[in-house]
């Protein structure tokens, strides 16, 4: 029995199936899902018919939107760099120990850390709001903004530590702390 042909975007159109077949199938599924969404999903515009021009005027007249965009770009850029670099960094700090980095366990741990972070957001925001209510301060910043500010600071430290301390365990723990910060960031920035 001959293997079924699959699209090879590097030149030929027929190749035997390999571990890349799932990505070919994912592309097909993505195209189908996109078509369904375009046809079936109504636009969620909040009930207004303001249009692109009003959006552009709002964007250009409010510097806070640009600051928010810059914050998102920087933090999410750090997240994506982390996504591509955690594996080689942990393998490097593990040294010559064969199989010292169990990528599945590490990734699962990172996902648990993100979940912990997203649950901590509510705890931290509630704590900050209660603390602000008891203080006689005239400047009350939104509790979520304060939590995000501290989250950014902790994220910076968490990503600096592996560059300073060359320990496999310390690097792994600092990466876990960063993932907790990512878990706080994602719902907070929304």
User: How does pLDDT run across 102-143, given as a tens digit for each residue?
Assistant: 889 999 999 999 999 999 999 999 998 888 878 766 666 889
d(CA 156, CA 166): 17
Inter-residue contact 146 to 81 (CB < 8 Å): no
Q: Of 31, 1, 32, 27, which is closest to residue 16 (Cα–Cα)?
A: 1
Backbone angles phi, psi at 42, to 5 degrees: -75, 155
Backbone angles phi, psi at 11, to 5 degrees: 150, -65
H-assigned helices in the chain: 21-40, 51-61, 63-94, 103-134, 143-164, 168-189
Question: Whole-prediction pTM value?
Answer: 0.71
Is pLDDT at 62 greater than 50 in this prediction?
yes
Does 141 or 11 have the greater pLDDT score?
A: 141
Six-digit token pair at 26?
């994912």
d(CA 126, CA 107): 30
d(CA 93, CA 165): 10
**pLDDT at residue 172 in the model:** 95
H-assigned helices in 44-102: 51-61, 63-94
The chain-wide mean pLDDT, for the chain, equals 84
Mean pLDDT throughout 80-91?
Answer: 91
Cα angle: 134, vertex 139, 140; to 5 degrees = 60
| pLDDT band, very low/low/confident/very high, at 173 (cuts 50, 70, 90) | very high
């Amino acid at each position: 029995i001959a293997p079924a042909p699959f699209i090879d975007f590097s030149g030929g159109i027929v190749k035997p199936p390999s571990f890349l077949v799932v990505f070919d199938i994912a592309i097909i599924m993505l195209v189908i899902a996109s078509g369904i969404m375009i046809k079936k999903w109504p636009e969620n515009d909040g009930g207004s018919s303001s249009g692109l021009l009003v959006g552009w005027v709002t964007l250009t007249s409010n510097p806070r939107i640009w600051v928010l965009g810059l914050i998102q770009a920087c933090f999410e850029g750090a997240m994506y760099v982390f996504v591509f670099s955690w594996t080689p960094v942990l393998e490097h700090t593990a040294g010559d120990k064969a199989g010292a980095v169990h990528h599945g366990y590490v990734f699962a741990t990172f996902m648990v850390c993100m979940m912990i972070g997203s649950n901590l957001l509510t705890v931290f925001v509630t704590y900050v709001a209660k603390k602000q209510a008891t203080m006689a301060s005239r400047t009350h910043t939104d509790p979520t903004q304060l939590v995000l500010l501290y989250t950014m600071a902790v994220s910076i430290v968490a990503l600096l530590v592996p560059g300073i301390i060359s320990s496999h365990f310390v690097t792994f723990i600092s990466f876990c702390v960063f993932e907790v910060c990512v878990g706080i960031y994602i719902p907070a920035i929304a």
